Amino acid sequence: MADTPFDPLDDPAALWPAPPAPGGKQGSKKKEAAEPQRWVWAAMTPPERRARLRELAVWTGWLRTTFELHNVIPRCWYMHPPVVEHLTALYAGWLRVYAGDEPAGLAEADWITTLHNLTPRLQLAACATGTHQPPPPPIPEPPSTAEDFELYLATSEPTTTPAHHPAQAELDRRLAADPPL
């Protein structure tokens, strides 16, 4: 029987190493640094960003196929930062659940529920026809925006009212009462 070529879409989890055993290597005084658990795109170096985006692309291809999201997640998803962020969150959660970092229970079902909750955020009406449409440019802020914000912080009621707990009267009654025996 001939060996079949490895297809990452068959098992995307096989692309990443298994999580380290608890406690690290026996007899080792120096603990190995844990792999980062969070992806912050802006904090990555350009080569790391490219490598991670390739990793996310393999997983996104698997996701589009497995969950039949090929009509939901556009082919140009990587050109839309909000979609990249949502897919990143889904992928990081998927790794924790399916790579064994989450405790047994309903973690898998919770991840699938999260996927379905975020699915509308992955759709882009402008790119639904298969032709990429760049996002509209951001509207420039008026020059006084920072000053207006600082003025609000200095003078508005929500930011200047002294602290007061809404249940202060009840807290005072409890403190005044003798503690139970």
Q: What average pLDDT does this structure show over 151-159?
A: 90
pLDDT exceeds 70 at position 123: yes
Q: What average pLDDT does this structure show over 134-163?
A: 88
* Residue at 27 is within a domain: no
Using CA atoms, how far apart are residues 49 and 43, in angstroms rounded to an integer? Answer: 9
What pLDDT sits at residue 30? 41
Q: What angle do CA 52, 58, 64 make, to 5 degrees?
A: 125
Averaged pLDDT of the chain: 80
* Residue at 154 is within a domain: no
Q: pLDDT grade, residue 89 (50/70/90)?
A: very high
Query: What range defines the domain where residue 122 resides?
Result: 77-134
What is the domain count for the chain?
1
* Residue at 83 is within a domain: yes
Using CA atoms, how far apart are residues 66 and 91, in angstroms rounded to an integer? Answer: 14
Using CA atoms, how far apart are residues 161 and 131, in angstroms rounded to an integer? Answer: 52
What pLDDT sits at residue 11? 56
Residues 19-63 pLDDT 10s: 444 444 444 444 444 554 578 999 999 999 999 999 999 999 999
* Residue at 34 is within a domain: no
What pLDDT sits at residue 135? 84
Q: Read out DSSP for 106-149?
A: SHHHHHHHHHHHHHHHH--GGGTTSS--PPPPPPPPPTTHHHHH
Q: Read out DSSP for 5-34?
A: PP-TTT-GGGGSPPPPPTT-STT-SSPPPP
* Residue at 14 is within a domain: no
Q: pLDDT grade, residue 107 (50/70/90)?
A: confident
pLDDT exceeds 70 at position 7: no
* Residue at 87 is within a domain: yes
Using CA atoms, how far apart are residues 174 and 135, in angstroms rounded to an integer? Answer: 56
What pLDDT sits at residue 165? 82
* Residue at 9 is within a domain: no
What pLDDT sits at residue 143? 86
* Residue at 115 is within a domain: yes
Which phi and psi (to 5°) does residue 18 adopt? -65, 150
Q: What average pLDDT does this structure show over 78-88?
A: 95
Q: Read out DSSP for 57-125?
A: HHHHHHHHHHTT-TTTS-TTGGG-HHHHHHHHHHHHHHHHHHTT-SPSSSHHHHHHHHHHHHHHHH--G
Q: Give me Rg for the CA atoms of the chain.
A: 25
A 10 A CB-CB count for 74 gives 24
Element (H, E) at 157: helix 157-160
Q: Which two tokens stand for residue 130?
A: 């298969």
Provide the whole-model pTM.
0.64
Q: Between 16 and 74, where is the model more confident?
A: 74
